[in-house]
Structure 1
Amino acid sequence: MFVMSIWCSSLSLSSRSLAIAMVACVALLYFSYSFNVCLLASISRCLQQSNIRNLLALSSSTHNESTESGGSSNGSTSSGNSSTTSTRGPPVQTVTVQTGGSLNGAAPKYQMLRPQGLRPSRHLPDTLIIGVKKSGTRALLEFIRLHPDVRAAGSEVHFFDRHYQRGLRWYRHHMPYTIEGQITMEKTPSYFVTKEVPQRVYHMNPETKLLIVVRDPVTRAISDYTQAASKKADMKRFEQLAFVNGSYSMVDTNWGPVKIGVYARHLERWLLYFPLSQLLFISGERLIMDPAYEIGRVQDFLGLKRVVTEKHFYFNATKGFPCLFKSEARSTPHCLGKTKGRNHPHIDSGAIERLRDFYRPFNDRFYQLTGINFAWP
C-alpha cells in the first residue's frame, strides 16, 4: 500500500512536469513566432521605403533628362547632323544639347557655366557671310560678334568651296561652342562666286540666312588688286591686268578682281535656291561711314535685340576706317588691322571710266534683283 502511494505520487509529479514542459514549449513557440512576424514586417517596410525612394529618384532623373533633351519652354530642338532653329533671345537655364563629345577647347566662360547646367555644344551655322571679297566682310564679322548672342568661327573655313568632301561632321567641328539662343555664324567670301555653293548650302539647311556685303565694283577690284600686289613685288600694273592687250577697249572678264564684281550673275545662282527674304545686302560704303546703322539692320534681320550701337565705335581719321572701343577678344580700343584702310595705288582715270561703263548694266540688274539702289557711279 505504501509502495503504491509512492508510485502514484511519482506519476503525479511526472505528469505535472510534462504539462509544465508542454506549456513552456508552447510559450516558446508563440514568442518565436511573434518575433519572426515582427522581424519580417520590419524588413518588408524597409524594402517598401527603399523602392519608393528609387522610384522617386528615377522619376526625377527621367524628368531632368526629358527637359534637357528637348523639353524647353520655347520648343527649340537640336540635332547633331543638321542646323538648329531656335527662338532668339537671352540664354535660359534649360538648354538643348548635343549628346556625347568633349568640351575640350570650349571658351573659358562656357566652362564656368557648366556647373549651372548650361552645356555648350557645336552646331552647323544658322547664318553665313558669303561675300563679297574686299567689300567689308571682315569688318561686318567683327562688328556683329560684339553681340553676346552671336558666335562665329574665327577664320574662313572654306567648307562649301574647298572642303565639301570632308562632310558636315567636319564642318560642325570647326564651329564655335554655343548655348541656346545664340547664333552660329561663319564667313567665307568666296562662297558668293563659287557655282556649286548655293546648292550645297541649301542641302545643309534651306533656312540658312545669308549676309552679303557689296561695294562699288570698281573700287572693290582696285582693293582686291592692292591686296594681291602687297604680297607680290613684281606684279603688273592694274591697267595691264584689267584689260586685254593693254587697251581700254576690252575688259578682261576672266581676271578675278573684275569677274567678282559682276554681282548680278552670281546673285542669280543664289536666288535659284534661296528667297530674297533670306538674303541681307549690306552696303560696304555705309558700313565704313555709319557702322552702327548697318549693324542695326543686321541685328534686326537675325532677330536679335539691338545691343551693338554707336557706343561701340569710333572713327580713325588716319586710317579712314571705323574702329572698336572693345571686341570679343580685346577689352581695349583697337582697329581691325594694318590691312584695313590700305592706301590704293594711282589708277589711270581712263581705265576707271571704262570699268564704270562696263559694270553699269550689271549694276542696274543687281539693283533690280535686290530692290536696292546702291548709287554706284
Structure 2
Amino acid sequence: MELRKLCQKVLFIIRKKLFKNFRLLIGLLAVFSILIGYWPPSPGDGCPSEKTYLKDDFRGWMENHSMNADNKVLLLAESSLSHEAISILNTLESWKIRVKMLAADKNIPTLAHRGRAKYSAIIFQKIKRYYLMDSWNRKLLETYCQDFSVGIIFFTPGNESFKNNIYGLQTQIVTPVYDYTLVKNPLLRISKHGAKIKKVPGNSWTAFTNTSFQTVATATTGKGENIKTWTVAAFEDRIIKKFYIGNSFSSFWVHRLLLMDALCYLSADRSLCTTLKRYVLIDVDDIFVGKQGSRLTEEDVEAMIKVQTVWNRDYLNNFKFNLGFSAYWYMEQGDSEEIKGDQLLIKVKDQFQWFPHMYKHTQPHKLNLSELENYMLLNKAWARKHNIKFDTFYSVPPHHSGVYPVHKELYESWKKIWNIQVTSTEEYPHLRPSKFRRGFIHSGIRVLPRQTCGLYTHTVKLFEYPGGFRRLLSSIAGGELFRTFVDNPVSIFMTHMSNYGRDRLALYTFTAVFDWLKCWTNLKFIQTSPINMANYYFNLFPEEIDPIWFDPCKDQRHFKIWSSKKSCGQLPDVIILGPQKTGTTALLTFLDLHKSIKVSKKSPNHFEETQFLSGKDYFNGLDFYRSYWPPQNNSDTLQIDKSSTYFHSELAPRRAYALVPSAKLIVLALEPGERAYSWYQHQRAHKDRTAETYTFDEVLEADETSMKSLRDLKKHCLNPGHYSQHIEKWLLFYPSSQLLLADGNELKRNPVKTLQIVQEFLDLETLDFAELLVYDPVKQFYCVRENNKKKCLGKSKGRKYEEMSQRARQFLNSYYKKHNANLVRLLKKISKELPSWLEALSQQNEDEEKIV
C-alpha cells in the first residue's frame, strides 16, 4: 500500500513535468502500472508495419442487399440458454444483423422461400453438431448452401473432442498455445494480417491439419527447439465455403473480428459486408464546469492540443476535440492555475470544435421554454464575445436531460436560438444494453446514439478507476471500448472536462485503444461534421428514423430526467383496436358508463379517435398522447384508447407494446362480409366519390387494371376482415392472455352479455348494463338510457341501407372462407371462444364438406 501511494505521488510529478512529451508520459505510466501489479495495455507482441490497402466498396450490411438471399444469419446452437450461443447472438445483434437462433439437434428449418434464400450465412456454435446431423438434414443444408452460395462458420472448442478425420476434417488438440498470429488471407478484411499476440487464453485448442485448408491464424506450442506452429483458424474454399475457428467464440476476443470477416466473405453475394470507415467524434462535456481541483490547467490544454496532432498523424483524419461549454462558469471556482487554463482555452479556441452546453449547466427538463431560451441567449452572447465559432449545428445538454425522454421545449429552443440540427444521447431507447442504442429523428433534429467509454465526471485518477485499473485495461485490450469502435460505423463518445485534467485518463485511454485498433484492424477512422455523420448514419439505418416511444416511468434513469410537472399514469390501460365498422364506438360509449373507466378525449383531427399509435400524431411525441387523459389520481381507474385504425396497422403493435406492454387489448369481430359492406356504405354516406360512383358489386370486381381509387376502396373494404392475419401481428408482441376477441354480432343483439364478458376480462366491478341500455326499434340498435330518455349514437351509427346483393354475398363468402378457417385455427390454438357468427360458418363449412 505504501508503494502504491509513493507511485501515485511520482505519477503526479510526472504529469506536471512531462506534459510536453505525452508518449513518454504514457510509457512511464505503464512502467509504474507494472510495479504495482497491473499490466499495460500493449496491443500485441507484433504489430504489422506494412500498410494494408483494401478496396472499401461496401457501405454496410443494411445497404448490401443480396439478390438471392435475405440479410439474416441462422445460428444453430446447443440450446437457447447456452452462454456461448447468447454471446454470439448478442454480437450479431450489436452489428444490427438479424438472427434466427435454433437448437442444432432439431430439424433444419425452411431455408428458402419462392426461390430466395432466407439466410445469408450459417453458424454452428459447436462443430460436432454438424457431424451429428442425420443424413437427411445435412443433405438439405448442404444443397441449400450450394444452390445459394451460402457459407458455414464452425466453432471448434478444443476441450470437446470428436471423431478425427470425420468427413475429411483432420484435427489435433494442442495445449497450451502461444504467439497467436493472423496470416495473410483473402478472408481477412477488418482484421489485419501480421498482428500477433504472445499470451493466448484457453487451455486447449483445435488445430487443423488438412493440407487443402487455407490458414487464417496460427499459434505455436512448445519452447526452444521444440516450437511447432499450428493452424488454429482455417478456411476451406470448395463448393461450400467453410470457416473453422479452433476454439469457442468467447474464448478469445480476436474471434469477434474473425467472425465479422467470415460473415462478409462467406455470405451470399457478400451481403453481410460492412465498410471499413468509422466516423468518430469525441465530445468533452462540462467545459468550465467543475470545482477547484477538477478543472483544466494550461498544461492540460497544451497536452490536448499535442495529442490532437499525434492522433491526426497516426490514427484518424481531421480530428479535433468537440468542447461543450457552459459560459456562466468561465473563470469561476478554479485556482490560479485553472483560471489560466480557462484563459488558454479561449486563446487557442480555433484548435478545437465547440458546441453549446447549458449556460449554467442546468438540466433542461427542469426549465420551461422561456427559461431555456434565456439561458441559451446568454451562452450565445458569451460565445460571440469571445469569437467562438459555432458551425457544427450540434449540441448535447447536461446530465443526459431533455433529448430522451423528449422535453419538447428543449427541441423548440434549440432550433430557435442555435439552429441545432443534430444531437446525441446514450439513453435511447435505454442506456443498457449498449448494443440496442439507436438513433431517431424528432422535430427535425437528428438524434444519434452516443457511446460511453468508461470515463465519467468522477473518473480522474489512474489508480482510482472504478473496478480497478485492470478493468480499464480489459476494456481497451479487445474489450468493450475496443468493440465499440469496431461495431459502430458512427461513434460519438461522451467524455468530461475532468477526464483531461489530473492524470489525463481520456488521453491515455483513447491513445491506447487507437494503438490496439491500428495494430489489429484495417479500419479507417475519420472525423467529419455532425451533420455529415447524421446523414451517413440514417442512410445506413433508415429504419431508425422514426422513433419508438417508451414509458419514462418504467425506466429509473429516464424517470429522473423527466419533468417533475409530468405525472405517470397518463397512458391507456386498455386499447380497443377495432377494426372499423364493427361496433367499437358503441362498445366505448357503453363502457364509459362505468365509474372505473376513463376514455380518452376526442381528437379534433380523427373523428373521436386518437389514432396516435397508427398515424402521424405519433411524431408529436409522448406528451401529445398523454394529453388525452388527465393526471390520474385513482389507481383503480382504467384509461381507454379506442382507435379502429390500430387493428390492421403495421406499426401500431410494436409501438403499443413498447409504450404500454401490460395494456389489455379488445378486438371486436363482426362477420367480415357484413363489415366490408358496412364500410362501403360508410364511405357513400361520407360522400366518397368512388363509393358514390360504383356499386358494391363493381368495387368487389376491381382488379389490377382498375383505377387506383377503386382498388384502394376494395382493399379498405376487404383487408380489415383478415382477422387472423392482423391478430397474429399483435400476438407477436402481446401474450394471448391480454387479448379479448369480442363478438361484434352479439354486441348488436345482446350488448349486456358482451359487456359482462368485457367487464370480467378487465377485472371491473360488475355493473348491470341492463338498466342502463334500451333498444331503439327505429335504429335497430341499443342506446343509453339517460333520465328516462334514450341517448343514441350519431346518424352514422345504425344507418339503414339496401340489402347486399346475392352476388356480392357469394363473393364474400368465398373470399373469406380461408381467412375464417385460419381464424378458427388461431382461436383454438390460443384457447379463445369462437364468435357466434364464426361458429355458425365453421359448422356450415363442415356440413358442406361432409356432403361433398
TM-score tier by shorter-chain length is: 0.5 to 0.7
- Judged with a 3 Å threshold, the aligned counterparts in structure 2 of structure 1 residues 252 and 362 are, in CA distance, closer, same or farther, namely farther
Residue 336, structure 1, aligned to residue 757, structure 2: no
Change (3 A) 1:252 1:356: farther
2:605 paired with 1:158: no
Amino acid corresponding to residue 172 of structure 1 in structure 2: R
SS in 2 for 1:325: strand
In the alignment, the residues of structure 1 paired with residue 653 and residue 581 of structure 2 have an alpha-carbon distance, to the nearest angstrom, of 20
Query: How many Å separate the matches in 2 of 1:246 and 1:318?
Result: 41
- The answer to whether the 8 A contact 1:81-1:169 is kept is no
Amino acid at match of 2:579: V
Determine whether 1:287 maps to 2:752.
Answer: no
Separation in 2 of the partners of 1:129 and 1:136?
A: 11
Distance in structure 2 (CA, Å) of the matches to 1:292 and 1:228: 29
Q: 1:195 matched to which residue of 2?
A: 650
| C-alpha distance in structure 1 between counterparts of 2:553 and 2:748, whole Å | 35
Please tell me whether the aligned partners of residues 572 and 660 of structure 2 are also in contact (alpha carbons under 8 angstroms): no
Deviation at 1:186, TM superposition (A): 0.8
Q: Structure 2-normalised TM-score?
A: 0.29
Matched residue, 1:33: none
CA offset digits 1:91-146 (Å, max 9, x no partner): xxxxxxx9536xxxxxxxxxxxxxxxxxx986111110011110000000001111
**In 2, Cα distance between equivalents of 1:355 and 1:321:** 25
State the distance in 1 between where 2:704 and 2:651 align. 33
Tell me the distance in 2 between the aligned counterparts of 1:152 and 1:177.
13
What is the TM-score of this pair, normalised by structure 1? 0.64
Partner of 1:224: 679
For 1:207, the equivalent position in structure 2 comes to 662
Instruction: Map 1:252-291 to 2 at 5 A.
Output: 255-291=715-751
CA distance change for structure 1 residues 121 and 272 in 2, over 3 Å: closer, same or farther?
A: closer
- What letter matches 1:168 in structure 2? L
Match of 1:169 in 2: 623
Equivalent residue for 1:141? 588
Deviation string for 1:5-43 (max 9, x for gaps)? Answer: xxxxxxxxxxxxxxxxxxxxxxxxxxxxxxxxxxxxxxx
SS of residue matched to 2:577: strand
Given residue 158 of structure 1, which amino acid in structure 2 is its aligned partner? Q
2-side partners of 1:171 and 1:332: how far apart? Answer: 34
SS at 1:201 equivalent: helix
Match of 1:366 among 823, 827, 843: 823
The amino acid that maps onto 2:723 is Y
- Structure 1 vs Structure 2: percent identity of aligned residues? 28
- Whole-Å Cα distance in 1 between the matches of residues 736 and 801 of structure 2? 34
Counterpart CA distance in 2 for 1:252 and 1:373 is: 31
| Residue 100 (structure 1) aligned with residue 565 (structure 2) | yes
RMSD: 2.7
Residues in 1 aligned to 2:631 and 2:778: alpha-carbon distance in whole angstroms? 37
Q: SS where residue 191 of structure 1 aligns?
A: coil
Partner of 1:351: 808
For residues 261-307 of structure 1, the C-alpha deviation after alignment (integer angstroms, 9 at most, x for no partner) is 11111111111001111001111111111111111111111111111
Alpha-carbon distance in 2 for matches of 1:146, 1:344: 30
Between 208-217 and 307-316, the greater mean CA deviation after superposition: 307-316
Kindly indicate whether the alpha-carbon contact (under 8 Å) linking 1:123 and 1:177 is maintained by their aligned counterparts in 2.
yes
Gaps of at least 5 residues in structure 2 are: 1-549, 555-562, 603-607, 842-852
Q: Report what 1:7 is aligned to.
A: none
How big is each residue's C-alpha offset from its partner over 1:316-340, in whole Å with a ceiling of 9 and x where there is no partner? 11111011113xxx88431112211
How far, CA to CA, are the matches of 2:610 and 2:679 in structure 1?
Answer: 20
Q: Distance in 2 between matches of 1:201 and 1:357?
A: 34
Counterparts of 1:339 and 1:306 in 2: how far apart (Å)?
30
Matched residue, 1:19:
none
Within 2, Cα distance between the matches of 1:176 and 1:369? 38
Matched, 1:312 2:772: yes
Indicate the SS of the match to 1:322.
Answer: strand
Letter in 2 for 1:179: N
Does the CA-based 8 Å contact 1:242-1:255 persist in structure 2?
A: no
Which letter maps to 1:302?
L
> Which residue is 2:695 aligned to?
237
Instruction: Please say if residues 697 and 807 of structure 2, whose CA atoms lie closer than 8 Å, have aligned partners that are also in contact.
Output: no
What is aligned with 2:639?
Answer: 184
Cα distance in 2 for residues equivalent to 1:245 and 1:208: 39
Q: 1:183 Cα shift?
A: 0.6
| Worse-superposed segment, 232-241 or 312-321 | 232-241
Change (3 A) 1:178 1:344: farther
Equivalent position of 1:129 in the other structure: 576
Q: Secondary structure at the match of 1:340?
A: coil
For the Cα contact (< 8 Å) 1:135–1:220, is it kept in 2? Answer: yes
CA distance in 2 between counterparts of 1:212 and 1:151 reads: 19
Give the letter for the 1:365 counterpart.
Answer: N
CA contact (8 A) 1:156 1:188 kept: yes
Tell me the secondary structure at the aligned position of residue 778 of structure 2.
Answer: coil
Tell me how far apart the structure 1 counterparts of residues 632 and 795 of structure 2 sit (CA, whole Å): 30
The number of aligned residues is 261
Worse-matched range after superposition: 333-342 or 136-145:
333-342
Structure 1 SS opposite 2:791? coil
1:325 touches 1:334 (CA, 8 Å); kept in 2? yes
Residue 235 of structure 1, CA deviation: 3.1
> Where do 5+ consecutive residues of structure 1 fail to align?
1-78, 84-97, 102-119
Q: Is the 8 A contact 1:135 1:214 kept in 2?
A: yes
Partners of 1:177 and 1:142 in 2: CA distance: 22
- Compare the two structures and name the one with the higher helix fraction: 1
2:514 corresponds in structure 1 to: none
Give the deviation of 1:341 after TM superposition.
1.1
The CA distance in 2 between the partners of 1:201 and 1:100, in whole Å, is: 24
Deviation of 1:372 (Å): 2.8
Larger Rg: 1
CA distance in 1 between partners of 2:644 and 2:740 (Å): 14
Letter in 1 for 2:649: T
Q: In 2, are the aligned partners of 1:82 and 1:204 still within 8 Å (CA)?
A: no
Given that 2:572 and 2:640 are in contact with CA atoms closer than 8 Å, whether structure 1 keeps it comes out as: yes
Q: Which has the higher contact order (CA 8 A, sep 6+)?
A: 1
Residue 338 of structure 1 aligns to a residue whose secondary structure is: coil
Provide the rounded CA distance (Å) in 2 between the counterparts of 1:99 and 1:333.
Answer: 44
Structure 2: how far apart are the matches of 1:225 and 1:186? Answer: 25
Alpha-carbon deviations, 1:140-159, whole Å to 9, x = none?
A: 00011110000001321111
Query: CA 1:345 to 1:211, structure 2 compared with 1: closer, same or farther past 3 Å?
Result: same
Distance in structure 2 (CA, Å) of the matches to 1:296 and 1:128: 17
